[in-house]
């Protein structure tokens, strides 16, 4: 049964439980998402890490759901009010799925998300040209693979709260993202915060809570 859903979480922490699709059958995920929506009628509920078959089943069974193939998420229920604004930035194509998972989570958790791509440090002018849009936000999430230099460069250009999401994007020996992870935790910029490799969801939850103030 769906008895396992922690329906008291919104009461304790302000935000509802989320369905983590990895390791669940498509039917289990659809059932959990429907049950979550019923338990939280006035707001959006979220499911993440949905594979292709699960996304297909969600589309068939839950016509009201919004499904995103890039970020591999589904949301269901009316968007609640949004407060605050999160800039979610990354360098290139390969980091896009993590950026999108983060942005969708930010919105489901009640804040606006601004997606800014194509600002890798090997072409600095592109980042400098976007600093105004970033400065208009309350918090920045920097999604970065390989050697993850982006959070450090950003940290020298802004005093906003800054969350780094290392990604497992790289070539050769990068240890499934360990390189990027170690980099974010050793940034020469003060106050950079980290989450686990590829954890756009976790960064999104934290960023939304900060942005909502």
Q: How far is the CB of 173 from ligand AMP (least distance, A)?
A: 12
Task: Please give the backbone phi and psi of residue 114, each rounded to the nearest 5 degrees, phi first.
Answer: -110, 120
Q: Is 14 left (phi over 0), alpha (psi -120 to 50) or beta?
A: left
**11 lines the binding site for ligand AMP (CB under 6 A):** no
- Report the residue number, 6 or 136, with the smaller CB distance to ligand AMP: 6
Q: How far apart are CA 49 and CA 73, in angstroms?
A: 6
DSSP state of 35: H
Binding site for Mg ion (CB under 5 A): 92
Which of 48, 167, 179, 184 binds ligand AMP (CB under 6 A)? It is: 48
- Report the residue number, 101 or 132, with the smaller CB distance to ligand AMP: 101
| Among ligand AMP, a copy of itself, Mg ion, none, residue 156 binds (CB under 5-8 Å by kind) | a copy of itself
List all residues 6 or more positions away from 195 whose beta carbon is below 8 Å from its beta carbon: 163, 164, 165, 202, 203, 206
Footprint on residues 184-213 left by ligand AMP (CB under 6 A):
190, 199, 201-202
Q: How far is the CB of 22 from ligand AMP (least distance, A)?
A: 8
**Exposure string for 38-74, b = 16+ CB within 10 A, e = fewer:** ebbeebbbbbbbbeeebbebbeeebeebbbbeebbbb
Burial-class residue 188 by CB neighbours within 10 Å (0-12, 13-18, 19+). Answer: exposed
Q: How far is the CB of 212 from Mg ion (least distance, A)?
A: 23
| Among Mg ion, a copy of itself, ligand AMP, none, residue 123 binds (CB under 5-8 Å by kind) | a copy of itself
Which string of x and - marks every residue 73-102 that binds ligand AMP (by CB under 6 A)?
-------------------xx---------
Q: Which residues face 27 on adjacent strands?
A: none
Q: How far is the CB of 189 from a copy of itself (least distance, A)?
A: 5
User: What is the contact surface with ligand AMP in residues (CB under 6 A)?
Assistant: 17-20, 48-49, 92-93, 171, 190, 199, 201-202
């Amino acid at each position: 049964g769906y008895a396992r859903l922690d329906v008291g979480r919104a009461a304790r922490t302000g935000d509802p439980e989320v369905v983590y699709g990895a390791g669940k059958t498509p039917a289990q995920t659809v059932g959990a998402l429907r049950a979550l929506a019923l338990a939280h009628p006035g707001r959006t509920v979220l499911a993440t890490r949905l594979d292709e078959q699960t996304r297909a089943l969600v589309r068939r069974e839950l016509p009201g759901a919004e499904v995103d193939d890039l970020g591999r998420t589904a949301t269901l229920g009316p968007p609640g009010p949004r407060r605050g604004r999160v800039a979610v930035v990354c360098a290139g194509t390969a980091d896009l799925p993590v950026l999108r998972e983060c942005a969708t989570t930010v919105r489901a958790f009640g804040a606006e998300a601004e997606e800014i791509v194509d600002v890798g440090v090997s072409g600095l002018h592109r980042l400098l040209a976007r600093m105004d849009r970033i400065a208009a936000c309350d918090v920045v999430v920097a999604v970065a693979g390989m050697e993850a230099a982006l959070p450090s460069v950003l940290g020298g250009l802004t005093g906003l709260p800054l969350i780094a999401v290392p990604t497992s994007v790289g070539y050769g020996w990068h240890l499934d993202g360990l390189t990027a992870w170690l980099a974010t935790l050793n940034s020469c910029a003060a106050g950079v915060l980290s989450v686990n490799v590829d954890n756009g969801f976790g960064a999104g939850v934290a960023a939304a809570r900060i942005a909502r103030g």
